[in-house]
Amino acid sequence: MTAAFLANNLWVLLCGLFVFMMTIAVGLLEVGELGQRVVVSLVKTILITGLAVLVMAIVGFNTAFAPTLGGVIGNPLYGAGLFLGGFSPGLSDSWWSVTGAGLRTGTYFLFETAFAAVTLALVGVIALHKMKLSAFAIYSVVYFVLIWALPAAWIWNPSGWLAKLGMVDFAGGLVVHGAAGAAGLGIVWQIWREEKARGLKVSPPVHYQVNPGWLTVAILLLWVGWFGFNPGSVLAFNDEAIIVVETTFVAAAAAMVSTSLTAFLVTSELFNPLYVVNGILMGLIVITPVAGFVSPGSALILGLLCGPIFVYAEKLVGRAKWLSDPVGLFPGHLVGGIFGVLMIAFFAQNQFATGSGFPGLPNGLLFGGGVAAVKQLGIEVLGIGAAVVAVFVLSHLTVRVLAALMKGITTNYGDADGVAATPGASATLA
Amino acid sequence: MTAAFLANNLWVLLCGLFVFMMTIAVGLLEVGELGQRVVVSLVKTILITGLAVLVMAIVGFNTAFAPTLGGVIGNPLYGAGLFLGGFSPGLSDSWWSVTGAGLRTGTYFLFETAFAAVTLALVGVIALHKMKLSAFAIYSVVYFVLIWALPAAWIWNPSGWLAKLGMVDFAGGLVVHGAAGAAGLGIVWQIWREEKARGLKVSPPVHYQVNPGWLTVAILLLWVGWFGFNPGSVLAFNDEAIIVVETTFVAAAAAMVSTSLTAFLVTSELFNPLYVVNGILMGLIVITPVAGFVSPGSALILGLLCGPIFVYAEKLVGRAKWLSDPVGLFPGHLVGGIFGVLMIAFFAQNQFATGSGFPGLPNGLLFGGGVAAVKQLGIEVLGIGAAVVAVFVLSHLTVRVLAALMKGITTNYGDADGVAATPGASATLA
Amino acid sequence: MTAAFLANNLWVLLCGLFVFMMTIAVGLLEVGELGQRVVVSLVKTILITGLAVLVMAIVGFNTAFAPTLGGVIGNPLYGAGLFLGGFSPGLSDSWWSVTGAGLRTGTYFLFETAFAAVTLALVGVIALHKMKLSAFAIYSVVYFVLIWALPAAWIWNPSGWLAKLGMVDFAGGLVVHGAAGAAGLGIVWQIWREEKARGLKVSPPVHYQVNPGWLTVAILLLWVGWFGFNPGSVLAFNDEAIIVVETTFVAAAAAMVSTSLTAFLVTSELFNPLYVVNGILMGLIVITPVAGFVSPGSALILGLLCGPIFVYAEKLVGRAKWLSDPVGLFPGHLVGGIFGVLMIAFFAQNQFATGSGFPGLPNGLLFGGGVAAVKQLGIEVLGIGAAVVAVFVLSHLTVRVLAALMKGITTNYGDADGVAATPGASATLA
């Protein structure tokens, strides 16, 4: 490999490893916000991690990233991706869509598999304490083969129909965060259907019980993970990758301050750990789809906008009686992810996008993009609509089928659904 | 340094750092499986980490990796390794046996020291709650100078007698996992001798008490560590190193599913966290000695074989009244490690082994290796026998001597043996 | 970028990420030593992390590292550092002072910002349980703009007045550890003034309550972080960076053994986790200012010296009635950091310093440095005096002003000062 190829593969592999840690970090975030009683979270995120690797290695990497069938879905039988090439993978072949940076199949596989896993972990926060773990495990398989793969195949796969239209989404404001929100809505609707059938008038909430140690480890791992998530999404180690480190970290820091202060204005409580942590997350989410297209200055502005958006969105979601969203999937990931995607049409600067591999992306409206920027906005809106609807429908259909087969997807709340260990309890091996 | 040398040293150093974290991760695994009462685990693994660095820097790196005396043990006085070169190390010299990849002494030292440390951490799970920490600390010194060094000098040192015969063990199915099991047996036998002398009829078991938070952090760190363990063992950053990422991760994921399902068939309990976690570990152990020799497809098959092997081996070990093995040293590391080494003769493909630096390794029986593969199987069996016997004998002799000097190596069970802090208790500094 | 530039940026960015984790690790260290009741520690270190990124991105990176105004402070308006270049950063420009290694602004920014953050985290251990979090947050802003920046601008900025005199401090024995101690003294003096005004005769101590899990995670993260801290401080990936891995790790390991044994001689207690952990830290601190100038052999000697120094210094500090220093800021960081800086004049070897970018540093007294070494000792002593006085005065003035504005900087002890979550308590989002 040439020097650049060596650096690119080394960078993206290591970034993939950092992202790989984020799935389990989401489980630790749940425990950090909701207390040790939600230990099923941890088994859930370990399972997601393993299932992602296995299902993506068999066929899910193909359905997302192999040359598409008509722009809709990757060819599941593409040789280099099916069972990762089986018994004779091309040792020194780059994956077809990233030959420019010389990324080997294994490099790109690890990176994208980690993304698929963490997306499902985000979906999973909505299933917490409510959905049977066995149902969620089966849902996972469908998710990695089909539900995660579609937006990826449409937008990140260069042969996808939205990519061909000119849609961009740098590190997954829509493909990860928005789609996680849409998939979560599909599940939460079914949960509410079952809750209503039991005669409930309000979806029982999961109460907060902050565990500062795990909350801290979670935010640390997530922040480190995002170092892989965004800078790694340049899919090369170049000058732009280093700029993305700046935009990502600055947005997170600015959002921490802005969210803490907004929450203080609303609640008079200073330094509530939940808002400090959610502020960081909101900054990281909002910058995700634009991190490789904007300047550090724009990242600072975007970070400062996060506080009011998150606090207001959380208040709105909190009014809905038919869902509980304790870890903030909807105000954080759904709203933040989509907001960030829309900001592409305002803050993008072509010079940065070129470094990220998108030399065709026009400047945003705030940087003189004019008509081209408005057109880009239209494309992004179309893409958001298409992906959100498709993911929501597929997710909901999947849980409807599961509900029919398994007599409902919900647990008897409070019950740990097939998980042997509850905290403090003793599990015995046979 | 050339581009390739830069990439190789960067890769192996970072992989060494990931492996370095695994020793303490083993301590967290003990706490995760057995509860916070085993806090001595944590002091133990911190001590192991520090002692490994110190003893290996003084002489242990030499006894394992310096040019050997007659193929048996590395020359302890070899200049570049003794005190790491003392006051005048060769700044830009590569270590003699890895000049091909240009690995500097410091790079190779960190990587192999991390391996030595984690091997002893695996031995240490058997000493848990039973062996005096002071005895274990002295044992550690002997271990790093001699007991760990022998299999490494024989197999991983190119001037070792087994290496010259053609024995291979990619990342330590025998040198790490099998040898840890053999050394543990040497200790456990002495523990049982002392238990019998106290009139015990059964070795008192250490009961499970799952702590999901620490268990999760442990498996996360171990999985990340294995990213260093196996892919780093190519000792270069090349195409094969990336394939090893695939084989390692796929085997772990497949073994997680296979072990969970096997345990479900046997116990009717789904998603027991101990089996989920042990499945991942078993997959990582079994793939370790072959990861650099096989295809992703073979890794998937090897992972699927792990479930039945682990569950059955655990049942067998559980029948023995004279030992307790709560964290699974014998069914996991001893059985899994040796099984993996034997699989070299079945699943190896010369094209992968060439990328790992073993162009002479023949294809396995399943890939047309024929007579050469059978011969390879014989060599591997010979190596397993020689290393297991030598390590077992040396380990047992060491604890016998310690027992004579210290009036037994066992604690009064339940007592924390010289460790000030018990969980919740308050320790005061003088 | 050339191969060397790629490797240098990749190395320093990753090292920066490892150091980035250390700030929160200091919070976990506080919890590990003092128990879960000090959860405010965790919010504090998350806040420090975010504020460091934000304030350094706006102007603090400039005040430390931009071309200085008269050798005293970096030009706050230097274009490439102000808001990280704002909307038009130089995409492929290296930062002016590190063009030799080709380090991009983002690379150097992340690395140094992580250093600034962890320095304040060390200062913060003294504020623990006693200083209002709101006061500490405002102090942080002043700290990153001015107090941290001065020693960095004087010593690490090549246009600083001490750097021009020939002062060196490899990775921050003075700029980080010594200065943290001096800043902490400035705060502790004000705390004592307020405590005296309340009629207290002794500063109320914060008692130890070891939490082994968090203590272990903390020391693991700190050790891993130091892999970035010292080896990354070569600011390039070259042969010397690999030597620094050796010196750093060997000193830590030797100090662990030496501190454990010294403590055993003094207290008769073996393997007290606090001394095991503090030994590792002391070794890492003492080697920090010399790691890039000395041989592995010297590192071993320096590590062995750490035990007696730490245990004796701790005893001395413990006699002072007017301060409490539960986590060891003064005996560890202040004493250890300054001791290490002085050792430059004894143990340095020009061949190593050349690899670290200081070809003008003479050999130390123990390596035939003679008059030049004595002169170097004088420069180091001058630098220590100037930096400690300046930082102490600025830190104390800052808290005096804050005390005047906020009616004192101390809390009603035991109260969590504006932090919503106490362990076990339930926090509710509005």
Output the six-digit token pair for A109: 């596989």
Would you list the DSSP string of A189-226?
A: HHHHHHHHHTT-SSPPPPPP---HHHHHHHHHHHHHHH
Q: Mean pLDDT over residues C273-289, rounded?
A: 96
Name which of C90, A32, C288 is nearest B212 in CA terms: A32
Radius of gyration of the CA atoms of chain B, in A: 21
Q: Does B325 touch chain A (CB under 8 A)?
A: no
The verdict on a CB contact (< 8 Å) between B271 and A86 is no
The whole-number pLDDT of residue A36 equals 65
The per-residue b/e assignment along C345-361, b for 16 or more CB within 10 angstroms, e otherwise, is: bbbbbbbbbbbbbbeeb
Q: Is the pLDDT of residue A118 over 60?
A: yes
Which residue would you say has higher pLDDT here, B130 or C416?
B130
Q: Give which of C21, C31, C40, C42 to mutate to test A binding, by max A Cβ within 10 Å.
A: C42
**Partners of residue B131 on adjacent β-strands:** B410
Are the CB atoms for C8 and C235 separated by under 8 Å?
A: yes
Chain mean pLDDT for chain A: 93
Nearest to A17 among B210, B227, B253 (CB): B227
The verdict on a CB contact (< 8 Å) between B14 and A17 is no
A33-37, A233-237, A263-267, A370-374: least confident range: A33-37
Q: Is the pLDDT of residue B218 over 80?
A: yes
> In chain C, what residues touch B17 (CB-CB under 8 Å)?
224, 227
The whole-number pLDDT of residue A38 equals 63
Would you list the DSSP string of C26-40?
A: HHHHHHHHH-GGGTH
Share of chain B above pLDDT 90, in %: 85
Q: Does C414 touch chain B (CB under 8 A)?
A: no
Q: Is the pLDDT of residue C136 over 70?
A: yes
Q: Does A423 touch chain C (CB under 8 A)?
A: no
Exposed (0-12), middle (13-18) or buried (19+): which is C141, by Cβ within 10 Å?
middle
Nearest CA in chain B to C211: B423
> In chain C, what residues touch A297 (CB-CB under 8 Å)?
83-87
Per-residue pLDDT band at C255 (split at 50, 70, 90) = very high
What digits encode the pLDDT tens for the residues C206-222?
778 888 899 999 999 99
Q: Is the pLDDT of residue C10 over 70?
A: yes
What digits encode the pLDDT tens for the residues C69-88?
999 999 999 999 999 999 99
Exposed (0-12), middle (13-18) or buried (19+): which is A261, by Cβ within 10 Å?
middle
C164-178, C312-326, C402-416: least confident range: C402-416
- Residue A85 main-chain phi, psi, to 5 deg: 90, 0
The whole-number pLDDT of residue A206 equals 79
What digits encode the pLDDT tens for the residues B331-366?
999 999 999 999 999 999 999 999 999 999 999 999
Are the CB atoms for C131 and C33 separated by under 8 Å?
A: no
A285: Cα within 13 Å, side-chain hemisphere:
35
d(CA A24, CA B219): 10
d(CA B260, CA C111): 43
Q: Is the pLDDT of residue B88 over 50?
A: yes
Q: Is the pLDDT of residue A75 over 80?
A: yes
Q: For the packed helices B335-347 and B296-319, what is the interaxial angle rounded to 10 degrees? A: 150
Q: Does B70 touch chain C (CB under 8 A)?
A: no
**Partners of residue C94 on adjacent β-strands:** C104
What digits encode the pLDDT tens for the residues B263-292?
999 999 888 999 999 999 999 999 999 999
- Residue A184 main-chain phi, psi, to 5 deg: -65, -40
Are the CB atoms for C293 and C168 separated by under 8 Å?
A: yes
Are the CB atoms for A295 and C85 separated by under 8 Å?
A: yes
Q: Does B207 touch chain A (CB under 8 A)?
A: yes
d(CA A313, CA C51): 25
The verdict on a CB contact (< 8 Å) between C239 and B57 is no
Share of chain C above pLDDT 90, in %: 85
Q: Mean pLDDT over residues C286-309, rounded?
A: 98
Are the CB atoms for C73 and C150 separated by under 8 Å?
A: yes
Nearest to B106 among C14, C243, C277 (CB): C243
d(CA B198, CA A263): 64
The whole-number pLDDT of residue A126 equals 87
Chain mean pLDDT for chain B: 93
Output the six-digit token pair for C128: 């623990």
| C contact chains, 3+ CB pairs < 8 A | A, B
| A contact chains, 3+ CB pairs < 8 A | B, C
The verdict on a CB contact (< 8 Å) between C421 and A273 is yes
Are the CB atoms for A81 and A96 separated by under 8 Å?
A: no
The verdict on a CB contact (< 8 Å) between A429 and B318 is yes
Q: How far is CA C256 from CA B42, B138, C70, C178, C335, in A?
A: 15, 15, 43, 21, 17
What digits encode the pLDDT tens for the residues B92-142?
999 999 999 999 999 999 999 999 999 999 999 988 778 999 999 999 999
The whole-number pLDDT of residue B231 equals 98
A19-33, A241-255, A416-430, B349-363: least confident range: A416-430
The whole-number pLDDT of residue C414 equals 55
pTM of the model: 0.96
What digits encode the pLDDT tens for the residues C20-67?
999 999 999 999 988 766 678 899 999 999 999 999 999 999 999 999
Output the six-digit token pair for C209: 């309550």
Nearest CA in chain A to B12: A10
What digits encode the pLDDT tens for the residues B184-203?
999 999 999 999 999 999 99
Per-residue pLDDT band at A239 (split at 50, 70, 90) = very high
Would you list the DSSP string of C4-56?
A: HHHHHHHHHHHHHHHHHHHHHHHHHHHHHHH-GGGTHHHHHHHHHHHHHHHHI
What digits encode the pLDDT tens for the residues B151-177?
999 999 999 999 999 999 999 999 999
Nearest to B50 among C207, C246, C252 (CB): C252
A13 DSSP 8-state letter: H
The whole-number pLDDT of residue A379 equals 98
Per-residue pLDDT band at A207 (split at 50, 70, 90) = confident
3-state secondary structure C142-175: HHHHHHCHHHHHHHHCCCCHHHHHCCCCCCCHHH
Per-residue pLDDT band at B38 (split at 50, 70, 90) = low
- Chain A residues 273-302 with CB within 8 Å of chain C: 273-274, 276-277, 279-280, 295-298, 300
d(CA C147, CA C181): 12
- As a whole number of Å, the end-to-end CA separation of chain B is 50
Contacts of B74 (CB under 8 A, 6+ apart): B62, B63, B64, B65, B66, B67, B68, B81, B149, B153, B157
The CA-CA-CA angle for residues B359, B365, B366, to 5°, reads 105
Q: Give which of B2, B5, B6 to mutate to test C binding, by max C Cβ within 10 Å.
A: B6
CA distance B212 to chain A (A): 6
Name which of C65, C154, C151 is nearest C110 in CA terms: C65
What's the longest Cα–Cα distance across chain C? 68
The whole-number pLDDT of residue A422 equals 34
- Residue C410 main-chain phi, psi, to 5 deg: -90, 150
d(CA B317, CA B328): 9
Q: Does A239 touch chain C (CB under 8 A)?
A: yes
Nearest to B243 among A39, A58, A106 (CB): A106
What digits encode the pLDDT tens for the residues B48-57?
999 999 999 9
d(CA A103, CA A92): 10
Output the six-digit token pair for A144: 């990695």
* DSSP reduced 3-state for A73: strand
The whole-number pLDDT of residue C424 equals 29
Exposed (0-12), middle (13-18) or buried (19+): which is C318, by Cβ within 10 Å?
middle
Contacts of B415 (CB under 8 A, 6+ apart): none
Nearest to A43 among B253, B267, B271 (CB): B271
Per-residue pLDDT band at C429 (split at 50, 70, 90) = very low
